[in-house]
Structure 1
Amino acid sequence: MTAGRRKNSAVIKTNKHSTGAKIVKRKKRTERKAVYFDYNLLASVILLICFGLIMLYSASYYDAFRHHKGNYMFFFRKQALISLASIIMAVMISILLDYHLLAKLSGVIYVFSLILMAMVRFSPLGVESHGSKRWLNLGIQFQPSELAKIAVIVFIPTVIIKMGKQMKSLKAVVILLIIGGIQAFGAKFLTDNLSTALIIMAIACVLVYLGHPKNAPFVIALVSAAILIGVGVIILKTNVHAISGFRAQRVVTWLDPEESLADGGFQVIQGLYAIGSGGFFGKGLGNSEQKLSTIPEAQNDMIFSIICEELGVFGALLVLLMFGYLLYRLFFIAQNAPDLYGTLIVSGIFVHMALQVILNICVVLNIIPTTGITLPFISYGGTSVVFLMAEIGIALSVSRKIKFEK
């Protein structure tokens, strides 16, 4: 009996151990399954890119046929290949890159972007196009100012975290704004890109606001800036014909496009005609009339007007909903990031994407002067797609570190 009991107890212990081992294995399997990846963000970006390629082909085939020896797929084919490569790059970044590594490399990226922008201005590798010297040819032609946005997004959060409690001081805020201002200065004076400089400073200001414990100073600064801009616009309207200079002319065109047809007003007015003629459901995909040389290079900054003409208000709302969902996914990742660094860099990406969408649409609607800012993932431009997808890859890398309690 004693031996039997020992044997039975041994069996029970063995069963307990085996059961415990099974539970541990199940827990490990559950933990493996709990690894998060924001497929919704990736899907929303791919959807936007596919939609953008359709609209790009529709907006560009006439211009491509005229200026590229009858190759009506010139712009579409180039953009499609770059977009496909960029999607693969973003997925690889999200899988292979631990975003914490960016904190260690952020200083190098910051300095490197300044060097590349300086090369545009001071080296023979700088390339001029459409009256502006913004491109750098290193075997592949691109705009270094796009890298400056990423440099600010990854470097300022690093400095904020190192400052810690010192963020309360005015000195810390000034230092961080100077850091953003240096990149903005580089974008403006080294690559002659004012719109990118404004976006860089806006990203820097929002990151400083998020890292600062007090809200009141920033609210006061924002209200003061809005008042100054309002007063400036009133002064410009009363002295509109006394303004001279290239960028000043853009303001004149914005205030009175009908009197400035030769200086950009014609494009603005035709864009508004395209939007108005589309109605609610549009003229139908491919049936735009304004893209037939009336709007020069309609596949670039003014592509939203072609969307409105061909797909109407319905198509415009669809685009805004797609961008809204993309921004929501970025907000979700920023909110659930495992640390402050992850939250801040994804917040910087959120601000960048949101600003480009808002500014591009405002330009098309003539709410603000022409800026030359593209509509993300939809306008033609290889540099823009590559760097935007690099940011998406970083955001996905942050999402992979999110852990949910069960």
Structure 2
Amino acid sequence: MERPAKKRRYDDTLLVVVIILAGIGLILLYSTSAYNGETKFHDSFYYLKKQGFATLLGIAGMFIVARIDYHRWVPLANLGYLAAIALSVAVILVGDEYNGSKRWLSLGPLSFQPSEFAKVAVILFLACLITKNVKKMDKFRTLIKVMLPVLPIVGLVGASNLSTAIIILGIAVVLVFVASPKYAQFIWMGAAAAAFLTVFLALESYRLERLAIWRNPEQYEKGYQTLQGLYAIGSGGLFGRGLGQSVQKLGFLPEAQNDMIFSIICEELGLVGASIIILLFLILIWRFFVIATRAKDLLGAMIASGAMAHMMIQVILNIAVVTNTIPNTGITLPFISYGGTSVVFLLLEMGLVLSVSNLVE
């Protein structure tokens, strides 16, 4: 008698929330970017069409990756790590500069942001490295051994994209923290990170200038974007002006569809709408946690924990920047801010986590 075919089952809540966020992201992006698209490209759908194509591509990739056993990616982890370093070097040497930031590589008519690939590559690489060294994670030298390979990527990415470098370093710290049975040694790591950050900020005057702008944005010309974002948040009130009714996106808030999109969400949908978006991200992070705790092995737990750290750090930092809680570092809001490379690799990362969540009945 033949055994019934094995049926694949994924974390339905995670999948539904990802699809909802991707769909809401497209709606909010169009609302935020229509004016800029019409003004710059004579097409109010310009940004939506590009983001929509990237989202569909990412969703297709997500389902493909979700069907692949995540253990099959282990042999490619080192290659992905080396590719991330090579692409980061290429950005420094031959990268394209937009709006004063050198973060992109051009591949014919397409532009590609290697730092987004680096986030996923680091999660997979560290998950494999920690799994190999799990029995020695109580030793400080093992923590150093695990963290050292991340520093070249952090340094290379940080040369042109400090915000992404902070996220990558944060992902690494969280993964090591989760895998380590001893927590006291993280005091030394925290002290070393604080010293490194102090030196890193002091190397470039513009980084120190950002601190001054953060403290008194009204006294600096570069504080204009921050102030306009705060005006948008304050004018939204409890229920907002209504979807599509933002005033600040009409040229007052530069490039509103990018890092500062959360301020337009607050203006149009108010505190209630912004809270719903935050709630969706909290559900997403909660599902990552559940998947990590129920994973079949350590590798799966590390992959889910890496995705959880990535989402948690990026969402918190973006909202903190928009509300001027921390200095402006140019961090996008996952699934919602404009960026084709970002949404594609985010969705591929979600596919990897769905693969971990896969249960066989």
> TM above 0.5, one fold?
yes
AA at the equivalent of 2:213: T
Q: Which region of structure 1 is more displaced relative to structure 2, 197-206 or 136-145? A: 136-145
Counterpart in the other structure of 1:160 = 130
Equivalent pairs, count: 357
Q: Contact 1:56/1:76 (CA < 8 Å) preserved in 2?
A: yes
* Cα displacement (A) at 1:215: 2.1
**Is 1:335 aligned to 2:293, yes or no?**
yes
AA at the equivalent of 1:203: I
Counterpart in the other structure of 1:77 = 49
Counterpart in the other structure of 2:6 = 32
* Cα displacement (A) at 1:225: 8.0
**Is 1:86 aligned to 2:58, yes or no?**
yes
- Give per-residue Cα distances to partners, 1:203-222, cap 9 Å, x unaligned: 11111111111123226755
Counterpart in the other structure of 1:119 = 90
Structure 1 CA distance, aligned partners of 2:151 and 2:192? 17
**Is 1:253 aligned to 2:213, yes or no?**
yes
Structure 1 CA distance, aligned partners of 2:60 and 2:102? 30
Please show how residues 1-400 of structure 1 align to structure 2 within 5 Å.
Answer: 28-29=3-4, 32-33=6-7, 35-68=8-41, 70-95=42-67, 97-123=68-94, 126-139=95-108, 140-189=110-159, 192-218=160-186, 222=190, 245-260=205-220, 262-263=221-222, 265-400=223-358
- Identity in percent: 47
Q: Structure 1's 244 and 394: CA in aligned 2 closer, same or farther, altered over 3 A?
A: closer
Structure 2: 5+ residue stretches without partners: none
Q: Which region of structure 1 is more displaced relative to structure 2, 73-82 or 132-141? A: 132-141
Structure 2 CA distance, aligned partners of 1:116 and 1:221? 28
Q: Contact 1:135/1:141 (CA < 8 Å) preserved in 2?
A: yes
3-state secondary structure, aligned to 2:6: helix
Q: Contact 1:284/1:311 (CA < 8 Å) preserved in 2?
A: yes
* Cα displacement (A) at 1:146: 1.3
AA at the equivalent of 1:128: E
3-state secondary structure, aligned to 2:102: strand
* Cα displacement (A) at 1:39: 2.4
AA at the equivalent of 1:36: R
Q: Structure 1's 226 and 107: CA in aligned 2 closer, same or farther, altered over 3 A?
A: closer
Q: Which region of structure 1 is more displaced relative to structure 2, 129-138 or 313-322? A: 129-138
3-state secondary structure, aligned to 1:281: coil
Structure 1: 5+ residue stretches without partners: 1-20, 237-241
Structure 1 CA distance, aligned partners of 2:18 and 2:318? 18
3-state secondary structure, aligned to 1:358: helix
3-state secondary structure, aligned to 2:296: coil
* Cα displacement (A) at 1:403: 5.3
Q: Contact 1:195/1:373 (CA < 8 Å) preserved in 2?
A: yes
Q: Over the residues paired in the alignment, what is the CA RMSD in angstroms?
A: 2.2
Structure 1 CA distance, aligned partners of 2:144 and 2:286? 31
3-state secondary structure, aligned to 1:66: helix
- Give per-residue Cα distances to partners, 1:334-384, cap 9 Å, x unaligned: 111100000001100110011110000000000001111100000001011
Q: Structure 1's 210 and 72: CA in aligned 2 closer, same or farther, altered over 3 A?
A: same
- Give per-residue Cα distances to partners, 1:1-22, cap 9 Å, x unaligned: xxxxxxxxxxxxxxxxxxxx6x
Q: Contact 1:53/1:80 (CA < 8 Å) preserved in 2?
A: yes
Q: Contact 1:281/1:311 (CA < 8 Å) preserved in 2?
A: yes
